[in-house]
């Protein structure tokens, strides 16, 4: 009863706590925060210097006493204290424009499919410590399907391939639950690392994560492009230690990323093999939907379609599918009860 009363005044939030970015959704306003999951700390004073976009700008550019931390690794909290401070910062940022005595919010937050009970408890505890009144955990694949406007409670298969920064989740959803699934620790960050390694081996040049990510976004592709793309690549020459510039093409980047693209496709096929035949028939009819940032990689949908012989569709604004799904659940308590994760049982 008291919770219902508070609910009338609190600004409830949906959060996609991602390895690369954290997104926050507020009902009636939409997505109000989309910032990198990065925190900069002064190790001498233990002071938080920057969070989000400002902290990401410091990556690879800090003196010894300043550390830039990514508190989530492969979608899992690796630094509880820093994650709590980051969440508190984002929650306070949303509430800063409202009256000071506004009640603490209810929060729906996305979690990976293969998360352990201990890791689920860590997410709940960190979110509550950051200022939540109630915390509801929802599998990210389920949230992505809901955010893509699928009716997940129907006896009809929905196949979601959510390729984010730290993980790739392949899930078949029916009747409000995940029937079959696979999680890979291979996604956007792994693609960046493979580009770094390729440039090192092919050009004898050392580059950083941000340069690799920029190359992936600007000229990266999974399939052959009709029009070739290229861009200048600048880094440190490994032979003489001096700065050097070369031209890198889409063919180079495609070769660098091919190993991970192949593994993602192979695991989609494996997931289909272990899916009940009736649901496979639905998937064949309705297709597979790609969500997450890597869904925007040029030609990825074509490569998967060619390998699986199943229609592939990239979700509208795939980067925000999960957080939009949490927003739908905030507004629909009946649906939330049906799809809520078992992790919501009290410890």
Domain boundary among 256, 289, 307: 256
Q: Are residues 164 and 103 in the same domain?
A: no
**What is the per-residue pLDDT for 347?**
40
**What is the per-residue pLDDT for 73?**
87
The 10s digit of each residue's pLDDT in 249-267 is 999 999 999 999 999 999 9
| Average pLDDT of the segment spanning 99-120 | 84
Q: Are residues 137 and 175 in the same domain?
A: no
The 10s digit of each residue's pLDDT in 276-297 is 999 999 999 999 999 999 999 9
Domain that holds residue 200: 188-256
Contacts of residue 114, defined as CB under 8 A and 6 or more positions apart, other chains included, come to 183
Q: Are residues 202 and 224 in the same domain?
A: yes
DSSP three-state, residue 292: coil
CATH number at residue 207: 3.90.640.10
For residues 302 and 311, give the distance between their C-alpha atoms in angstroms, rounded to a whole number.
Answer: 9
Q: Per the domain annotation, does 234 fall within a domain?
A: yes
Q: Are residues 301 and 327 in the same domain?
A: no
For residues 58 and 322, give the distance between their C-alpha atoms in angstroms, rounded to a whole number.
Answer: 27
CATH number at residue 160: 3.30.420.40
Q: Is 45 exposed, middle or buried (0-12, 13-18, 19+ CB in 10 A)?
A: exposed
Q: Are residues 251 and 292 in the same domain?
A: no
Number of domains the chain is built from: 3
| Average pLDDT of the segment spanning 178-196 | 95
For residues 259 and 257, give the distance between their C-alpha atoms in angstroms, rounded to a whole number.
Answer: 6
- CA end-to-end distance (rounded Å), the chain: 22
Judge contact between 158 and 174, C-beta under 8 A.
Answer: yes
pLDDT above 60 for 6: no
Q: Per the domain annotation, does 90 fall within a domain?
A: yes
For residues 208 and 196, give the distance between their C-alpha atoms in angstroms, rounded to a whole number.
Answer: 7
Q: Per the domain annotation, does 58 fall within a domain?
A: no
**What is the per-residue pLDDT for 124?**
92
pLDDT above 90 for 301: yes
Q: Per the domain annotation, does 44 fall within a domain?
A: no
pTM of the full structure? 0.89
Q: Are residues 271 and 239 in the same domain?
A: no
Q: Are residues 305 and 162 in the same domain?
A: yes
Task: Measure the CA angle with vertex 223, ends 23 and 313; round to 5°.
Answer: 50
For residues 13 and 127, give the distance between their C-alpha atoms in angstroms, rounded to a whole number.
Answer: 11
CA dihedral 248, 214, 20, 297 (to 10 degrees): -70
Q: What is the mean pLDDT of the chain?
A: 91
Of 58 and 98, the structure prediction assigns the larger pLDDT to 58
The tokens for 187 are 């996604």
The 10s digit of each residue's pLDDT in 63-109 is 989 999 999 988 888 999 999 999 999 988 888 766 555 678 999 99
Gyration radius from the chain CA atoms: 21
């Amino acid at each position: 009863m008291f919770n219902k009363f508070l609910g009338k005044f609190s600004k409830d939030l949906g959060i996609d706590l991602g390895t690369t970015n954290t997104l926050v959704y507020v009902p009636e306003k939409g997505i109000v925060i989309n910032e990198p999951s990065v925190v900069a700390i002064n190790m001498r004073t233990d002071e938080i210097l920057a969070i989000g976009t400002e902290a990401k700008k410091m990556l690879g550019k800090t003196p010894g006493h300043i550390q830039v931390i990514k508190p989530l690794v492969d979608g899992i909290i690796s630094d509880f204290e820093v994650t709590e401070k980051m969440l508190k910062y984002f929650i306070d940022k949303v509430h800063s424009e409202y009256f000071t005595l506004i009640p603490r919010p209810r929060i729906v937050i996305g979690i990976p499919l293969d998360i352990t009970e201990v890791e689920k408890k860590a997410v709940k505890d960190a979110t509550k410590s950051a200022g939540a009144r109630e915390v509801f955990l929802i599998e990210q694949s389920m949230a992505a399907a809901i955010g893509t406007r699928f009716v997940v409670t129907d006896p009809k298969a929905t196949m979601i391939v959510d390729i984010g920064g730290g993980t790739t989740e392949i899930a078949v959803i029916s009747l409000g639950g995940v029937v079959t699934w696979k999680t890979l620790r291979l996604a956007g960050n792994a693609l960046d690392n493979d580009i770094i390694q390729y440039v090192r081996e092919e050009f004898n040049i050392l580059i950083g994560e941000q340069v690799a990510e920029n190359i992936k976004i600007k000229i990266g592709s999974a399939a052959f492009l009709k029009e070739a793309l290229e861009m200048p690549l600048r880094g440190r020459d490994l032979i003489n230690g001096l700065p050097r510039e070369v031209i890198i093409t889409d063919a180079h980047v495609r070769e660098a990323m091919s190993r991970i693209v192949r593994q993602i496709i192979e695991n989609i096929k494996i997931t289909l093999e272990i899916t009940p035949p009736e649901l496979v028939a639905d998937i064949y009819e309705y297709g597979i939907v790609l969500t997450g940032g890597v869904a925007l990689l040029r030609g990825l949908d074509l490569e998967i379609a060619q390998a699986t012989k199943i229609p592939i569709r990239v979700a509208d604004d795939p980067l925000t599918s999960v957080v939009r799904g949490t927003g739908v659940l905030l507004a629909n308590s009946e649906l939330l009860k049906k799809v809520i994760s078992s992790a919501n049982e009290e410890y």
